[in-house]
Structure 1
Amino acid sequence: MKKTIYFFLFYCFFILAGRGNAVSQTSQKGIKAVPANDFLNSLGVCSSITGRGETLKGTIDALTYTGIRFVRCGLEDRISVQDMITLHKQTGARICYGLLSGGTDLDRLLRESRQLASADVLLALEGNNEPNNWTVTYQGETGGGNLSWMPVAKLQRDLYSLVKSDAVLKNYPVWNISEGGAQTDNVGLQFLTIPERANTLMPAGTQYADYANCHNYITHPAWPGLHDNQTWLSASPGADCPVDGLYKNYGLTWRNHFEGYSESELLTLPRVTTETGYSIDKDVNEEMQARLYMNLYLSQFKRGWSYTAIYLLRTRENEPDHESFALYTMDYTPKQAAHYLHNLTTILADNKSIDHTGSLGYFIVNRPATVHDLLLQKSNGKFFLVVWGEKFTGGKDEITITFSKIHRFVNIYDPTTGTLPISTKKQVKSVQLTMSDHPVVVEIY
């Protein structure tokens, strides 16, 4: 868990240094890279693994192919601990294990989480899933939905307390409930720890979680269709986020406008996304969904989300309509999103972190507002500059990346075409790229 804490502290600096936009970070010393392994570790997916019609072999094959590093699941999925351990041994994927929809069995959650922790499989523990949609009955009281949220708050408080007092689990992070912005009464779930003078129904000092948790799907009934900067804006921690994001759950709750953190505090608030995605519909076909999903992971990481789980890997038998969100069809045929994620994670593949990354001097000349970048470094020392375009309403931009010195070799990759370089250049001082609605990876050495 020291790595988790280090990762978050690094990101506090990273976000404050430029709010995730490298155009303002150019200096004589260059831009500091982030370990490629840290980015890859942030990639997650929702899956029942062996529950609700999913199979262990299908899940193992899907995670191996896409390179996804963690699974968000929980009590309602009814997965055996041994299956989760086998999944980890075969793929390396870790488990975020939670109470999920309506779950209240803390004894079972902690017992099975201890087994996962002992096998080095556990990533985090999570509270309830969307109590606005699935009510909770705890200690004889039913809450959530349109009722009081006091039972939800008490359950989350007790989950946190039990985890932190447990000899095996105390160093693992607790992720908050999702959709805290739907509170009917101000029980303070818009805070990780309720501060003094917050005027909440639960007392100051009540501890709920180590990480805020959102379901910031990259579309919303109030923001339908495709837009430029679709994933970038959806990942924003501030009030400019047009979807159900951090601000509407932890800044000013979307249902009853209970005050939480200030926008400046939200910038460095530890946060995760346990559901996000975009359903194939009249605006988004399978090809566009695949491009959105690559950009989604990149925007989330760049804007300070430690972990992001796309909904979902493969739909469940009891929810066939949800296949339009998924990376795989119900018979485990990979959709285009699975292929593109395979390409991206293959290009960036690395399984070792770096204690001290290097810096690279570069500047994107006349950068348009729809172009974003993330500088990664692999454990072999090579830099990988990921640049992605967010022109989802059409059009292209020609950009130039100028380096502070001449580099011996540059390889350019396009994950929409495969895993091999589309271009190799020698003695390079600048690179021209055509950007539209997906990432391009520039390897520099």
Structure 2
Amino acid sequence: MPDKVTIFVIFYLVFLAAAPLFLCVASAKRRGAFLPFTFDPRKRDGRSVTLKFAAVAIAVIFTEPAYAANAQHLAKFLESFGVGGGVYPGREAQYIYLGVRNNRDGGVTTPDGVTNAINLHNSTMIPGVNPGVKASLLTISQPGWPTIPQFIKNAESLAAAGALLAIEGVNEPHNFGVTYNGRYGGGGTDWLPVAQFTRDLRAAVVADPWISTYPVFSPSETGAESGNYGLQWAQIPKGGADPTKQAAAGVPDGTIYYDFANAHNYVCSIFPDPVRPNQAWLASDPSVNQPGFDGEYGNNGVTWGAKYAGYTPTQLLTLPKVTTETGWQTGSGKGFVSEDTQGKVLLNTLLDQFKRGWAYTFFYELYDGGTSLGTWGLFHSDKSPKLAATYFHNLTSALVDIGYGSLGQLPYSFTGPATVHDLLLQRSDGQFFLVLWNERVPGDGGSDDIPLDLGQTFSSIDIYDPTVGTGIQRTYPNTRSLTLHMTDHPLILALKPAIGSGNSVSFVKRDTTTMGNWSGVYGADGYNISQDTHTLTPSYASVGFSGQSNYTWVSLPTDKRALQRPENPSTRIAACWYSATNFTIDVNITDGKSHQVALYANDWDHDTRKETINVIDAATSAVLDTQILPAGASLHNGEYLVWNIKGHVKFQIVRNVSYNSVISGIFFR
């Protein structure tokens, strides 16, 4: 009987230097006071952190299943790339070189600052390549700085010029403090002014017809909140904050603070640790309290300061989120890395962040800058590029798009360790770009050979390596499968489709009402009912099966979900072809005409079965159509998928979640 498949994944634990697990608790008033090297003085005060494990878990080699992966917009990925670095004149060339789309700066607070931001946007606008750098307008609430109405006016000007990305709440209020309505907060004191400013800022944005559609980012580091005003929530739920504090601040249940959570989950971690395998992957984890990383969990799950409860780990996965600061300093000594390591880790960070749901990632900082900016920069202080800037330039030279087209799927699979990750992107003209990256420790000499099956043949596959240059490093003609030698950074595969074969598919409809009563509706030309001995194959077609198992639930049921037996439509059979992974139905229409083909699937014994049907060109292996079952919440009552088919295709029936993939019948008309 088709039943739930349990997949066992074995993990090998590789323990580092200190043999026994140990507990290390460190506390300091400032990061700079705790760390034996110069950290960014703009950063938050340190907090007691428990480093629970001095170990790194590395998964045993595994195979990524050949499920059809959904592509994401290439333009959306490129639009996630941001940098902090000021909008002052003379920096345009560096922004263009990076290919970056967004800027974060507190300097857009004066008329001159707004003008500079608009000029930067206009000067970085390259038709077909870059829509122009947009600003995350960082607000500040301190004496001498603009008020909320002035910030709103600045945002209006930026929006009118097409140069506004978002409005951002105050930066690290526990470090820099907030003065609002005559009261000081943050900076180690109660956060009432922070809550009120955040509430009023978003309300002002929403009320302004010129900028009401622009998102508001939360104050960074809400995990430091003092006094539970509910800032860990985008919208305060019932019981989500301290009622006394809420009353004092005027932030009742239902108050909306922001649209996107905002973390400073520095990839370098909050300790001067060496680079670890999966360094960037761990830093970008949105739902797990990864030791040493200041991630979303500690800011919006359970706050790292006072331990206020917020979103559950499951909710954190889908909570809209941004990172407005991350990076790693270059140099020698503990806590610093080489330019090559910085560049590779930051490339991995941009990819990891996007794959794990971060809408925008801003790197700190554009330039090195002495004592205030340290060596965080992507460029040296003389504006010459570090390797990180060069690697980003190479990445955004290979990946170029500004439009949004329709999205497809690709049923690829690969084998490799848990340090290998993947991202399928699709350009607006339909071309796929598959990015794979390995997060071994840069420079340690480790590598992995990764067998990759793309699920279909491409006329050519061009390989780009952003750590080498902007050009194609290797081309594979007429290829479906290849092996990639991977170390510590991304490789980009530009997939050019094979020339069309003449085989075609047109999806007609879904049918959730006919159920098992197919006679007179489908199958006028032919039919094949699973486990029934009476089969009729049309003269114009051939049908074959591979990879399936057979099962009969009930031989003679009366339930109308069961398919009618063709030899006696008053009787029925509940049966299926099934697989724990996927199976194939090969259909070859040989008369050169288009014919209707229908598949019937029924979740007879459960109601949570989900599966994907890929219709694949038998000549080129191209995916011609993809449908997901069920259309609604359950496949329990059965569902038909109907296509018009011309030529030779293969139906790939792929298990998605829970129970096996199933099909109970195929019909021709």
Give the TM-score, by structure 1 length: 0.89
What SS class does the counterpart of residue 137 from structure 2 fall into?
A: strand
Residue 82 (structure 1) aligned to one of 115, 119, 122: 115
Secondary structure of 2:95 counterpart: helix
Give the Cα–Cα distance (whole angstroms) in 1 for the partners of residues 455 and 177 of structure 2: 56
Matches within 5 A, 1:365-376: 365=415, 367-376=416-425
Return the match for 1:273 from 309, 323, 326.
323
Q: How far apart, in 1, do the equivalents of 2:108 and 2:121 lie? A: 20
Alignment of 1:15-94 (within 5 A): 26-27=66-67, 30-50=68-88, 56-57=89-90, 59-75=91-107, 79-91=112-124, 92-94=132-134
Q: Is the 8 A contact 2:186 2:194 kept in 1?
A: yes
Matched position secondary structure for 1:87: helix
Larger radius of gyration: 2
Q: Which residue of 1 aligns with 2:581?
A: none
Alpha-carbon offset, residue 284 of structure 1: 1.1
Deviations 1:392-445 (A, max 9, x none): 163111111112122211111111111111111111121211111110011111
Which range is displaced more, 217-226 or 305-314? 217-226
In 2, Cα distance between equivalents of 1:171 and 1:132: 29
What is the one-letter code of the residue matched to 1:161? Answer: A
Paired with 1:199 and 1:321, the residues of 2 have a C-alpha distance of 36
In structure 2, the residue matched to 1:379 is: 428
Distance 1:70 1:444 in 2: 28
Aligned partner of residue 319 in structure 2, secondary structure? coil
Distance 1:47 1:199 in 2: 36
1:70-106 deviations in whole A, cap 9, x for unaligned?
0011257755212111111111111110214745621
Are the equivalent residues in 1 in contact too, given 2:289–2:295 (CA < 8 A)? no
Is the 8 Å Cα contact of residues 229 and 241 (structure 2) preserved in structure 1?
no
Q: Is the 8 A contact 1:272 1:305 kept in 2?
A: yes
**Corresponding residue for residue 361 of structure 2:** 308
Uncovered stretches (5+) of structure 2, i.e. residues with no partner: 1-61, 125-131, 247-251, 497-669
Where does 1:121-200 land on structure 2 (aligned, <5 Å)? 121-200=163-242
Q: Which residue of 1 aligns with 2:151?
A: 109
Q: Which residue is equivalent to 1:253?
A: 303
Question: What residue in structure 1 maps to residue 341 of structure 2?
Answer: 288
Q: Which residue of 2 aligns with 1:4?
A: none
Task: Tell me by how many angstroms 1:382 deviates.
Answer: 1.4
Q: Kindly indicate whether residue 367 of structure 2 is the aligned counterpart of residue 334 of structure 1.
A: no
Tell me how far apart the structure 1 counterparts of residues 447 and 365 of structure 2 sit (CA, whole Å). Answer: 30
Equivalence map 1:352-367=2 (5 Å):
352-354=403-405, 356-365=406-415, 367=416
Q: Distance in 2 between matches of 1:302 and 1:275?
A: 18
Structure 2 SS opposite 1:80? helix
Which segment drifts farther, 289-298 or 196-205? 196-205
Whole-Å separation in 2 of the counterparts to 1:334 and 1:116: 29
Question: Partner residue of 1:98?
Answer: 138
The DSSP-based 3-state class of the residue aligned with 1:133 is: helix
Separation in 2, partners of 1:301, 1:398: 25
Q: Percent identity?
A: 39
Q: Is the 8 A contact 2:289 2:298 kept in 1?
A: no
**Structure 1 position 414 matched with structure 2 position 465:** yes
Matches within 5 A, 1:206-217: 206-217=255-266
Q: Matched residues in 2 for 1:25 and 1:206: separation?
A: 43
1:324 aligns to what SS in structure 2? Answer: coil
| Cα deviations by residue, 1:288-316 (Å, 9 ceiling, x for unpaired) | 10111111100000000000100011245
Deviations along 1:2-48, whole A, 9 cap, x unmatched?
xxxxxxxxxxxxxxxxxxxx976632xx2111111110000000012
How well do the aligned residues superpose, as a CA RMSD in angstroms? 1.7
Q: Please, what TM-score do these two structures have when normalized by structure 2? A: 0.60
Q: 1:237 to 1:25 in 2, by over 3 A?
A: farther
C-alpha distance in 1 between matches for 2:108 and 2:494: 43
- Name the counterpart of 1:233: 282
TM-superposed CA distance for 1:320, in Å, is: 3.8
Report the Cα distance in structure 2 between the residues aligned to 1:379 and 1:244, rounded to whole angstroms.
35
Partner Cα distance (1:71, 1:167) in 2: 24
8 Å contact kept, 1:44–1:309: yes
CA contact (8 A) 2:223 2:305 kept: yes
CA contact (8 A) 2:462 2:494 kept: yes
Higher strand share: 2
Provide the rounded CA distance (Å) in 1 between the counterparts of 2:485 and 2:141: 44
- Paired residues in the alignment total 412
Higher relative contact order (Cα pairs below 8 Å, separated by 6+ residues): 1
Gaps of 5+ in 1: 1-21, 51-55
Say if 2:64 and 2:414, in contact at 8 Å, map to a contact too. no
